[in-house]
Structure formats: structure tokens, C-alpha cells
Amino acid sequence: MAYLGLESVRVGDSAQCVNDIFTLHFPTARTVIDCTYGKGRFWDWAHSVKVVGVDIDPQSPATIKADYCHLPFMPASCDVLVFDPPFIFTPGINRIIGTKRFFLGAESLSADKRTRSKQEIKKPKNSAELLQQTEAVLKQRNIATQGIVLKGQDLIVNKPDWWSYNVMKLAEQLGMGMPTDILLQHSKAHRMRDPRWQQQYHFRRAHCIYLIYKWGIGERE
């Protein structure tokens, strides 16, 4: 591959970061499952990838309503799996971005583990619960044939919460090894400058982290 001039710190939005990741690491990807699709902001760039959106609160009719802890897909259903977990338990962010969209909790699972009611929606209360959910997604990685991209944030409010370290440690325990690459995003998002943020506790206030794992077809089990 020709030298692309891409760097490990990207000043820009999520779509620009995902563009960089797919240009460098998944240039042959044709199908993607985005299991926290929302409004599809990751895919606001010129591409020919077929993106299947999954969300517990679909924003468009084309989005599949499902719990990312129990994705309704068979192995090898896509080339790349993308996961941007909710950090809404975080003080400050909870007030700014609201609390509507979450994964479905484990209560009252139906026979196919996917059909549940609005009353059973449950959000992660802390970083430990979020890591448990991330583990559930990583255990479904055989849905993808090329790899998985995870987006998150290291946060320090009352005590350190090193999301990137915890996920990398978890991935190693699951036999995935270390990430192929790490991309840091310096976000220009309005919430990072919101006046309701009265104090700054750490340098990473405007940083997001993308962990990229790649594998061959026989390496994802």
C-alpha cells in the first residue's frame, strides 16, 4: 500500500476517523455491521461499503432494532464489526447528551434473545457494566471476517477509568491479542466545549480512542 500520510492523532469528527481506519486497515471491506448505529454519523464520508445499522432505538426504518449484546447475525455476516459503546453513566455527559438510547438489559430474554419491550431497556451504571457489555460484543466477533473497531474514552473524574487498557486486557484474555492499531481522535464536538463542564479533571476531555483488531478468517474464533 502506498504511504497515505495518515497519523495516529486525528483532529476531526468520527466520520473522518472511521474513513482513515477503513482506508488504511480495511480497504477491501464491502460490508459492515455498526451495532450502535444511531444516526449513522460514522459513515458520513464517500465510501462504497454496505453498512447494516443496529440500534435499540432506531433512528431510521432501515436500522435493525436489536440489542448489541445479542446481535441477530450468523458468523461471517460482514467484513467488519463496529462498536461505539455508551458512556452515558459518566457525570456531565449524562446531562448533556441525554439518556434515551441504550442497550437492552438481560431481563426476560425471549427464546431468540432479541425481542423485548421498552420497559426492559437498561443502561450501564458504571465502567464495570460497560466492560461486561463490551465482552459480550467481543464474544460475537466471529460475525466479522476481517476485524472489529471499538471506540471509547479514558475518563478520570473521581478515580482513573482507563477504558483502553481495560478493553485491551479483556481482548487478550479472549485470545485476540493486542490491537493491530490505535487511533486517537481529538474531537471538535460541541459537548467538549459545553459551559456546563465546570471543571477539567484530566487531559483526555476531548480525546476518543479507536482500537482496531484485525484477523484472518481462521483467527477469529
Please check whether residue 132 lies inside any domain of the structure: yes
Alpha carbon distance 195, 189 (integer Å): 13
Q: 203: which 3 cell numbers?
A: 487531559
Backbone angles phi, psi at 4, to 5 degrees: -95, -10
Alpha carbon distance 29, 27 (integer Å): 6
Q: What is the pLDDT of residues 58-99, one digit of tens each?
A: 888 889 999 899 999 999 999 999 999 876 555 554 444 444
Where does the pLDDT of residue 121 fall: very low under 50, low under 70, confident under 90, or very high at 90 and above? Answer: very low
Please check whether residue 193 lies inside any domain of the structure: yes
Please check whether residue 107 lies inside any domain of the structure: yes
Please state which of the ranges 4-18, 95-109, 136-150, 154-168 shows the lowest mean pLDDT.
95-109
> pTM here?
0.83
Total number of domains in the chain: 1
**What's the pLDDT score for residue 126?**
78
CB 83 within 8 A of CB 68: yes
The percentage of the chain sitting over the pLDDT mark of 70, rounded to a whole number, equals 73
Please check whether residue 1 lies inside any domain of the structure: no
Please check whether residue 4 lies inside any domain of the structure: no
Please check whether residue 2 lies inside any domain of the structure: no
Please check whether residue 81 lies inside any domain of the structure: yes
Please check whether residue 3 lies inside any domain of the structure: no
**What's the pLDDT score for residue 57?**
80
Q: What is the pLDDT of residues 27-47, one digit of tens each?
A: 999 999 999 998 899 999 999
Q: How far is CA 73 from the centre of its chain?
A: 17
Q: Tell me the pLDDT of the chain averaged across its residues.
A: 81
- Provide the residue range defining the domain that includes 179: 9-219
Q: What is the CATH number of the domain that holds 170?
A: 3.40.50.150
